[in-house]
Structure 1
Amino acid sequence: MTRQGAGTMGNSKQLLVVKLGGSSASSSDLSRWVRALDQASIPMVVVPGGGPFANTVRRYQPKLGFDDRAAHEMAILGMEQFGLALISLSTRMVSARNRGEIEAAIEAGDIPVWLPRDVALSAPEIAQDWSVTSDSLAAWLASRLTAKHLCLIKQIDVPEGADVEALIGAKIVDDGFADYLGPTSSVHVAGPGDLSSAGIRLAEGKVPGHVLQRHAAALAAAV
């Protein structure tokens, strides 16, 4: 097992934020992605998707009639549920609710899994509706931590040369994603085709997948 050295947290020049899509919960790839992430040699934060937990909220909202604000909080709780599952599958992941806990985990050589409820619901700039999902929250966290890289792990392979706007248009990321991107983080996307090499790349301090292009519109939205 490879561990980043103590004292590296705050080195945002190397920090990697990884959003692990909740759709992986129903895939046999999930345990393999967790093992790959456990091999990371650079400081890393994992943002869990909502997966089946958030999908349950979507399914029952029209039946029960609760509003988008309630649905947003419930979906964030779904992210926390998936995050707890990831922690139980990992040898290195630990829960972290705020920047201080993220920093402490990385200082200890662990991989913090961000449980976003407390911070995300108290941030006035984060819309509390379905325009913001775990993708946007991962982008927001990467911006807040001035992370060097943001990697989105998806259950589909995105072609090289794709840009952020194309992923928004294809509903691969949510509509608000570009609004929450910071100007300094490079955005990577990784899919099933990248899984076999992901552990090796992470152990070498590299990011799985390939870089998404960020056009002027996305950069302008991030500033």
Structure 2
Amino acid sequence: MQVIKIGGSLYESRCLPRWLHQLATLEAGKAIIVPGGGPFANQVRHAQKCWGISDACAHTMALLAMEQFGYLLQGLEPTLRLAASPKEIKEVVSQQQIPIWLPATELLDQPEIPKNWEVTSDSLAAWLSSKLKASRLVLIKKVRLSEPVISVHSLVTRGIVDAAFPRFLHSITIPCYCITADNYPQIALKGIVNMGTRISPD
């Protein structure tokens, strides 16, 4: 089982429905999709700047932003199923379907997850990978990486992953990859397990 996070940067990309179609064809039990926040999370940032709401309030709103993007993904590819907990994820998998994780209900009271902007959907995907004992974590992003291996700290510096991601990555022992969004045609040729830039935790 692998956790696949679809970045919110794909919101207006022609690749988005094609990725979803490709992922929907994966064998059931092989993938769990984590939605990014996209423009919905950007609106939360704007609201915090405009009204000065607390980080904790913005964190809750950002989780709901991920859920909005998740509903969009399911709307684009109705064969995917929404799931709000590990129990629901397992139920979807048992029905031979691919789940999209809706994180808000489960994560509102998790003490190990900081309630601020240091944590975004990247770190939450790593957290879910640990929770489900996944075999692999994949981040699909609208960014071009040519190197076969890249340091997670380099990704933080370049603003590609959130500031807390190195800590969450260190907490799991599975391989983590970043895949350029434009590479979706390679799934049919290589399979997703043979794609991407490996993210080193060091």
SS in 2 for 1:131: coil
Q: Distance in 2 between matches of 1:174 and 1:197?
A: 27
1:177 to 165, 181, 185: 165
Checking the alignment, whether the CA contact within 8 Å between 2:142 and 2:182 is kept in structure 1 is no
8 A Cα contact 1:22 1:82, kept in partner: yes
Q: Which amino acid aligns with 1:118?
A: T
> Any residues of structure 2 matched to 1:204-219 within 5 Å, and which?
206=193, 208-215=195-202
1:90 corresponds, among 68, 72, 77, to 77
1:196 aligns with 2:182: no
8 Å CA contact retained: 1:146, 1:184: no
Q: Aligned to 2:113, what secondary structure does the other structure show? A: coil
Of 20, 37, 45, 2:32 maps to 45
Give how far 1:135 is off. 0.5
- Residue 212 of structure 1 aligns to a residue whose secondary structure is strand
Return the alpha-carbon distance in structure 2 between the equivalents of residues 93 and 195 of structure 1: 17
Looking at structure 2, the residues matched to 68 and 122 of structure 1 have their Cα atoms a distance apart, in angstroms, of: 14
Q: Does 1:154 align with 2:154?
A: no
SS at match of 1:130: coil
Alpha-carbon separation, structure 1, partners of 2:81 and 2:194: 21
Q: Select the residue among 151, 156, 165 that pairs with 2:153.
A: 165
Structure-1 separation of matches of 2:144 and 2:128: 24
> CA–CA distance in 2 between the matches of 1:136 and 1:33?
21
TM norm structure 2: 0.93
Question: Match of 1:17?
Answer: 3
Tell me how far apart the structure 2 counterparts of residues 146 and 101 of structure 1 sit (CA, whole Å).
Answer: 16
Note the 1:10-159 alignment, pairs <5 A. Answer: 15-41=1-27, 43-159=30-146
Q: What RMSD in Å do the two structures reach over aligned CA positions?
A: 1.5
Indicate the larger mover: 16-25 or 190-199.
190-199
Report the residue type matching 1:139 in the other structure: A
Q: Following TM superposition, by how much is the alpha carbon of 1:200 offset from its aligned partner in structure 2, in angstroms?
A: 4.0
Q: 1:53 to 1:77 in 2, by over 3 A?
A: same
Q: Secondary structure at the match of 1:26?
A: coil
CA contact (8 A) 1:151 1:208 kept: no
Does structure 2 conserve the Cα–Cα contact (< 8 Å) formed by 1:40 and 1:199?
Answer: no
Q: How many residues align?
A: 199
Q: Give the drift of 1:62.
A: 1.4
> C-alpha distance in 1, partners of 2:126/2:48?
26
For 1:25, give the aligned amino acid. Answer: Y
Q: Where in structure 1 are there 5+ consecutive unaligned residues?
A: 1-14, 216-223
Offset, 1:139: 0.6
